[in-house]
Structure 1
Amino acid sequence: MKAYIFPGQGAQFSGMGLDLYENSPEAQELFEKANKILGFQITDIMFEGTAEQLKETKVTQPAIFLHSVILAKTLGEAFKPEMVAGHSLGEFSALVAAGALSFEDGLKLVSQRALAMQKACEAAPSNMAAVLGLEDEVVENVCNTIDGVVVAANYNCPGQLVISGEVEAINKACDALKEAGAKRALVLPVGGAFHSPMMEPAREELAAAIENTTFSKPNCPIYQNVTANAVTDENKIKANLISQLTAPVKWTQSVQQMITDGATLFTEVGPGNVLQGLVKKIDRSAETASATFETQA
């Protein structure tokens, strides 16, 4: 079965989407529509911006969403997903690609999500750290012993878990995790504690926007971050999407479940190939590929 997977924050690069814009009239139209919806020329930053400009949350999230969704739309008949999943932000791309959300509504929600997360980051100092070489359970147990907010946030693949929380709690957790045998416990250059209770103000803000958005039944099951199970019911999709900001991304569990349910080929749609690497670490026998836009002769 064909599974399509959509990347999250961190996959951006200068020049992303330019080939689509230059070679596909449909892509060009969608990019221009995005500029209007967002109220600024995101295409200028995507095509020619510096790494610093692309790192701004209000730019990063819509940029990755646009690259992924527009690439999926230009694949035409070749794009026939039997299941989809997206890592964090990528879940919105997956929902649009699977027909559960319109392009316009998806972009508006992603933009609101980015701004709400930015606001929550500014309200309280917080960050994230990558922990390598420990079992998930050990990381969870260590986090439970630390004073302050620190939780498991991204289950990326076996032996790679990202923790999230208050600055001081993260620093203490990193020291404790190294003592517990972690190969590395490294604070990440991110704006705040995503997928932790620190995102509660953003979750509340986004919840209202999601509730007021029309969702349709997707064309295929989506494996959502919060449950790691196949979902097709619109109301469950909405509820999981709202929970996503404060709950962990169960990527390892999602990929394992997709394989159990028959996924044989994972095609990454969007910038970079990080998710393909994670899929291989989760199951070495899984086949992976990058979606590529073929210029029409």
Structure 2
Amino acid sequence: MSSIWVFPGQGAQKVNMLHDLPKTEVVRKYLECASDRLGQNVLLLDQVEPLQSTYAVQLCLYIAGVISAALLNEHQLKPDYIAGLSIGAWAAATVANVLSFEDGVSLVARRAILMQEAYPHGYGMTALIGIDQTTVNEWVTRVCAQKGEVFIANINAANQIVISGSYCAMQQVEAMARQKGVVVKQLDVSVPSHCVLLKNQAYTLEQEVKKITTRPPEIRYLSGTTARLLMNKDQIMDDITFNMSKMIDWESTVQSAWERGVRLQIEAWPGTVLTGLAKKVFIDGTVMSFQGTRLDTLIVEMQKERYLTF
């Protein structure tokens, strides 16, 4: 029996997500470190108005994810595997010690600004629930043939596909989906993530990534884009740098973890979406999240898993 910690992407954010973290010394140190690195108080970022920006959302999710792991690390606990969806992959790589928290904060800020400035308005992401990838691909291809900017961005589950692009193009796909009785849900994401529209921004970020010191992972890292196990630090940095412009295959990532013997998944604060998606695969396993679960309960489950492993 093995464990995995997973880190959510945009859409999981909530007001006061940093304020609601435990009032402990380790939390205070991480928040102060992030504030010092950015030259601004990060506790001002998790409010209603700031969270309208990709900049605030990505930083809050990254910081909250790393702190979630630190709260368990305090009890000498670490997972067998680690993975993250979109910005969550940056937290995963940091927790695996591939890059430092300080460098992560700076690069995530840069990532968010690049994405935000490239598409300040008119673009986003939409979830289609109750439909398969093949059908969605047909709809997307049809709209793209008319010069619409829309792409499949995430495969969250066999019947949950996320599209990304311009609002105009996505609305055309949404209309086709509604005719088939598909549930359409616009996500709280203000940029067209996980498609070629962000390819140039990824290459720009790569130049910044090359300037930092990186290390081999101390925890096995599963890519949220390819569902592959990446053991090389350069592969992992490439994975998180370019994931903004590549489709996410979270369904295969969860399946890969299960097939590798993972039976306990813990989702970092503040998400629960990855918890819900994993329940469809972890039929005989345990799926938990920081949100709605006491910290001591998570600790007990990790300790139990470690005991069963040995």
User: TM-score under structure 1 normalisation?
Assistant: 0.90
Deviations 1:146-173 (A, max 9, x none): 2322111011122111101223221211
In 2 relative to 1, CA 293–197 (structure 1 residues): closer, same or farther, beyond 3 Å?
A: same
Q: Does 1:37 align with 2:34?
A: no
Deviations 1:88-146 (A, max 9, x none): 10001111111111111111111111111101112x73222211111112212221222
Equivalent of residue 115 in structure 1, options 101, 105, 113:
113
Residue 151 of structure 1 aligns to a residue in which SS? strand
Report deviation, 1:78. Answer: 4.3
Other-structure match for 1:191: 190
Residue 96 of structure 1 aligns with an amino acid whose one-letter code is: T
Other-structure match for 1:153: 153
Q: Does 1:266 align with 2:290?
A: no
Report deviation, 1:59. Answer: 1.1
Report deviation, 1:42. Answer: 1.1
Q: Does 1:93 align with 2:94?
A: no
Residue 55 of structure 1 aligns with an amino acid whose one-letter code is: Q
Structure 1 stretches lacking a partner, 5+ long: none
Deviations 1:8-41 (A, max 9, x none): 112222332335462x212212211111111211
Taking the aligned partners of 1:39 and 1:111, their CA distance within structure 2 comes to 12
Superposed, 1:211-226 pairs within 5 Å as 211-226=210-225
Residue 280 of structure 2 aligns to a residue in which SS? helix
Taking the aligned partners of 1:45 and 1:189, their CA distance within structure 2 comes to 16
Q: Does 1:54 align with 2:54?
A: no
Would the aligned equivalents of 2:8 and 2:85 in 1 still touch at CA under 8 Å?
yes
Q: Does 1:3 align with 2:4?
A: yes
Q: Does 1:143 align with 2:137?
A: no
In 2 relative to 1, CA 177–103 (structure 1 residues): closer, same or farther, beyond 3 Å?
A: same
Residue 154 of structure 1 aligns to a residue in which SS? strand
Would the aligned equivalents of 1:226 and 1:243 in 2 still touch at CA under 8 Å?
no
Report deviation, 1:182. Answer: 4.6
Equivalent of residue 67 in structure 1, options 36, 40, 64:
64
Taking the aligned partners of 1:189 and 1:103, their CA distance within structure 2 comes to 26
Taking the aligned partners of 1:54 and 1:187, their CA distance within structure 2 comes to 16
Residue 89 of structure 1 aligns with an amino acid whose one-letter code is: I
Residue 56 of structure 2 aligns with an amino acid whose one-letter code is: V
Give the share of equivalent positions with the same residue, in percent. Answer: 28
Taking the aligned partners of 1:129 and 1:82, their CA distance within structure 2 comes to 32
Report deviation, 1:214. Answer: 2.1
Residue 75 of structure 2 aligns to a residue in which SS? helix
Taking the aligned partners of 1:203 and 1:145, their CA distance within structure 2 comes to 27
Deviations 1:53-75 (A, max 9, x none): 22322211111111111121122
Residue 126 of structure 1 aligns with an amino acid whose one-letter code is: Y
Instruction: Tell me the number of residue pairs that the alignment of Structure 1 and Structure 2 aligns.
Output: 288
Taking the aligned partners of 1:95 and 1:182, their CA distance within structure 2 comes to 39
Residue 62 of structure 1 aligns with an amino acid whose one-letter code is: L
Other-structure match for 1:14: 15
Residue 254 of structure 2 aligns with an amino acid whose one-letter code is: V
In 2 relative to 1, CA 193–45 (structure 1 residues): closer, same or farther, beyond 3 Å?
A: closer
Report deviation, 1:202. Answer: 1.9
Other-structure match for 2:289: 290
